[in-house]
Amino acid sequence: MQVRFAAPAKPLTVHIGAVMPAAVALGVRARRDLDPHLAAAAVHAGWAGLEAGVVERAVAVLREESDGPVRAVLGPCIHADRYEFGRDLLDRLVDRFGPQVASRTGTGAPAFDIPAAVRAALAASGVDDVDDVDVCTAASPDHFSYRRDGVTGRQAMFVVRDRRARGSR
């Protein structure tokens, strides 16, 4: 995992290839001193990154920076309805995250529910303040989806610290 820190008003970016399984923005408000700041992380994780624990590691890194509460935003990603998955690998992920990550596609095939896995990883890290933009990249015409179009594209997620938003969520 690469760890970078951004100055206020300078974005953290995650540049993502054709597949955007899950992008998570994490933020934590500091409580250690009288000069509160916002520590933020931008995380991209597909099924392999989720299985390897990148979400949990990102939360741990943020908690090394600050002891404030962690808030997460789950960005656009493919949803289970369109994410067919092999049964053997799906069983492994169910063992890791729980039965809520096993689903079915619109055609009835086994599917992996990435948003559910991200929420499970966050919950295991003690993060319960999670907003989900609830956008499926395979269903949204505003996002690239190789599964939908057979065309490769690029997407990016930006996380910007804004000192003006100190008191807001």
Domain contains 148: yes
Q: What is the pLDDT of residue 160?
A: 66
Domain contains 83: no
Flag whether 105 is in a domain. no
- Does pLDDT of 23 surpass 60? no
Q: What is the pLDDT of residues 117-153, one digit of tens each?
A: 999 999 999 998 888 889 998 898 888 787 788 887 7
Residue 66 covered by a domain? yes
Provide the CATH number for the domain around residue 56. 3.60.140.10
Q: What is the pLDDT of residue 115?
A: 94
Evaluate whether residue 126 is within a structural domain: yes
pLDDT over 80 at 51, yes or no: yes
Distances (CA, A) of 123 to 17, 67, 71, 97, 120: 27, 17, 11, 10, 5
User: What count of other Cβ atoms lies within 10 Å of the Cβ of residue 108?
Assistant: 8
Find the mean pLDDT for residues 52-67: 86
> What is the domain count for the chain?
1
**Amino acid 71: pLDDT:** 84
Q: How far apart are CA 158 and CA 6, in angstroms?
A: 11
**Average pLDDT rounded to a whole number, residues 52-81:** 86
Please compute the mean of the pLDDT values over residues 63-91 and round it to a whole number.
Answer: 88
pTM: 0.80
Q: What is the mean pLDDT of residues 21-50?
A: 65
Q: Which structural domain range is residue 152 located in?
A: 12-77+115-164
Higher pLDDT, 38 or 145: 145
Query: pLDDT of 88-121, one tens digit each?
Result: 999 999 999 999 999 999 999 999 999 999 999 9
> Is there a domain that residue 134 lies in?
yes
| SS3 track for the chain | CCCCCCCCCCCEEEEECCCCCCEEEEEEECCCCCCCCEEEEEEECCHHHHHHCHHHHHHHHHHHHCCCCEEEEECCECCHHHCECCHHHHHHHHHHHCHHHEEECCCCCEEECHHHHHHHHHHHCCCCEEEECCCECCCCCCCCCHHHHCCCCCEEEEECCCHHHCCCC
pLDDT at 168: 45
- The rounded percent of the chain whose pLDDT value lies above 90 is 36
The total of other beta-carbon atoms located within 10 Å of residue 166's CB is: 10
Backbone angles phi, psi at 89, to 5 degrees: -70, -40
Distance between CA 104 and CA 4 in Å, rounded?
37
Q: In this model, does residue 31 exceed pLDDT 50?
A: no
What percent of the chain has a predicted confidence (pLDDT) above 70? 70
Q: What would the mean pLDDT of 2-7 be, rounded to a whole number?
A: 49
Q: Which among 77, 152, 150, 76 is positioned nearest to 112, based on CA atoms? A: 77
Q: Is residue 98 part of a domain?
A: no
Answer yes or no: is 99 within a domain: no
